[in-house]
Amino acid sequence: METVLEEGDVLNKCPRCGGGLNYDEELGELFCRSCAVVVQEQVADLGPEWKALDPEDKTRRVRVGAPLTLSLHDLGLTTEIDSRAQDSQGRALPPQARISAGKMRRWQNRVRTTSTERSLSQVLSKIGEVVTRLALPKSVAETAARVYRRSHKMKVVKSRSIKGVTAAVVYLACRKCGVSRTLNEISQAVGVKERNAARYFRLLLREVEDTYIPPPTIESYISKLVNMAKIDARVERLALHLVAKTRDSRVFSGKTPSGLAAAYVYIAAVLLGEKVSQREVAELANVTEVTVRNRCRELLEAYVIRQRLKPQGRGKSL
DNA sequence: ATGGTTTTTACTGCGTC
DNA sequence: GACGCGGTAAAAACCAT
């Protein structure tokens, strides 16, 4: 039960960031643990939604080869690490612009045909823009559009900021689809203050969305962090293990998951003798070093972390 | 608006490579 | 001496009420 990553989980390297890729044939879902973290359970939840997709996708998915690569890329492993991710080990990716255009076109077709009135609002087209810009999966676009139409029907978004609503809806869709993007990233892409988007997001949750959407887990943050920082996978495993061990603790309550995740990763790295600085994990988790330190302190106060681990664990004991 | 909680900002001292 | 680490106080942000 301490093992979270199963054998054979990692099939490939992410073409964009080099992180581990997981690809589920059955569900047609691929997830890079750096760019778009999707935890196993959440994938299962996605099942129905994916089945509802057009058959064209299915046939494309079955084939192996170049189209697959294309769809891999399509499935939205994105942005945020763009600098080094740009071009990886010689595998030439199709020009960004072309893919974006194609995706945009497809998305718009779908929306046009399904939406009853095109004049529904500018929000829908804005959603398309944002999804394209962030290279998010199609499922996100569809989910976002669906949520928006519903909220529109319920009149809750009447006379609200278009940008704010857009960001909120897209973020909500990401959450539903298990795509790990922060509200901050999306707000920036939309060009709106995060707190405004947050307001609308809460509004949506309260008024429209009846199904509870779990917030991003500490575990998902940990995976994201480890992969983004290119830290040894052992650290990830240990960090996740520590989370599991300390799961039923009040240390968690009210603290930002990303900060906690950063702390776990840091502690795990120290235990394993990996050289990872607080600054590094803090930056990647979008928190300050102070927060990392505080979480570490609280964690270490609450628990005695011993290193009685198996093979050549040259860890120190804290 | 307000109050309680959490995070950030800014600054300091300490050890070490 | 710069760097990583640890701590602190006050400001800022967040959130429910």
CA of A249, C1' of B12: distance in angstroms: 33
> What's the pLDDT tens digit per position in A200-236?
888 888 777 766 677 778 888 898 888 888 888 889 9
The CA-to-CA distance between both ends of chain A, in Å, stands at 23
pTM of the model: 0.61
CA of A69, C1' of B7: distance in angstroms: 41
* pLDDT at A48 exceeding the cut of 50: no
CA distance A34 to A11: 14
Distance of CA A160 to the CA centre of its chain: 27
Q: Which residue is nearest to nucleotide C6 (CA to C1')?
A: A293
Cβ–Cβ under 8 Å, residues A228 and A33: no
Among candidate residues A171, A233, A240, A234, the one with its CA nearest the CA of residue A34? A233
Taken in order A138, A220, A207, A199, the sign of the CA dihedral is negative
Residue matched to tokens 């061990």: A245
Cβ–Cβ under 8 Å, residues A139 and A49: yes
Radius of gyration of chain A (CA): 20
> What's the pLDDT tens digit per position in A117-139?
443 557 888 899 888 888 788 88
Among candidate residues A192, A206, A134, the one with its CA nearest the CA of residue A162? A192
Nucleotides of C under 7 A from a protein CB: 3-9, 13-16
